[in-house]
Chain A
Amino acid sequence: GVLLALHDRAPQLRVAEDRLAATGDRGYCMLRATHGVQRGAWYWEASVEELPEGAAARLGWGRRYANLQAPLGYDKFGYSWRSRKGTRFHESRGKHYSAGYGEGDTLGFLIVLPAAA
């Protein structure tokens, strides 16, 4: 199954035993999943179980080179959807996308890549 990667994360993040949750307290940074995709159309889904007051998340698709010390969507290697105000980010530019999301919401992320390598 797809889990949060232990070996592909900002070092200051702590990953839970079940590798389905991560916590950190030293700035917004990132970790990647254990699995990636290379061609074709893929879709992943997540349900937001907990999002405490004052916390925020930026979820989406990131390439291998996306800078782990910044949130997803900081550079050109990542595309993210922010929980606050539902903003989508790429290269640190925020555009309106939807209303904000939070606990109880289920999100889906579709990526369509060329079929050839």
Chain B
Amino acid sequence: DLLKFNQLKFRKKQLKFAKSGIHDWGLFAQEPIAADEMVIEYVGQMIRPIVADVREAQYEATGIGSSYLFRIDFDTIIDATKCGNLARFINHSCNPNCYAKIITIESQKKIVIYSKQPIGVDEEITYDYKFPLEDEKIACLCGAPQCRGFLN
């Protein structure tokens, strides 16, 4: 993983933040990307699950979406609501061209977005959010033929 991460990280993919056909804004490739290459790391603030629970309630109370919270493992959540990088703008798709993977580098866990298949220039980067099932459903806007209808 280390070799793969370092090798690909230094070849940071050219990405662009632009209007998305799926929802508001999205992230688009500015260079062709081969399958199984690292696209971008999902970075943010590392917090405990109970802190994430409290923040989720605060975010909802102030109308901020809570879809920037990404569980990395049993006791850590990455919160990219207030700080992070472009990866927080990647939209969900039920038929994505990327996937998220947790890798461990020097005992630090990281969330890395890899390409699932070749991606062309100006193609939107998507991955399956894998939100846990909830009662309050969020409609999915990906428009893919096999769309599941809901993010959660």
Contact = CB atoms under 8 A, between A and B. Distances in A.
12 contacts: A11-B75, A12-B75, A26-B48, A26-B75, A27-B48, A27-B50, A27-B51, A67-B50, A69-B48, A69-B49, A69-B50, A70-B50
Interface of A: 11-12, 26-27, 67, 69-70
A114 B43 CA distance: 52
Given A12-B75, A26-B48, 6 more contacts: A26-B75, A27-B48, A27-B50, A27-B51, A69-B48, A69-B49
Contacts of B50: 27, 67, 69-70
Nearest to B50: A69
A39 B51 CA distance: 34
B55 to A, nearest CB: 13
Contacts of A27: 48, 50-51
Nearest to B51: A27
Contacts of A11: 75
B95 to A, nearest CB: 37
A11 B75 CA distance: 10
B49 to A, nearest CB: 7
Contacts of B75: 11-12, 26
A9 B11 CA distance: 44
Interface string B49-71: 11100000000000000000000
Interface in B33-58: 48-51
A69 B54 CA distance: 12
A67 B75 CA distance: 14
Nearest to B74: A11
A26 B51 CA distance: 11
Nearest to B47: A27
B38 to A, nearest CB: 29
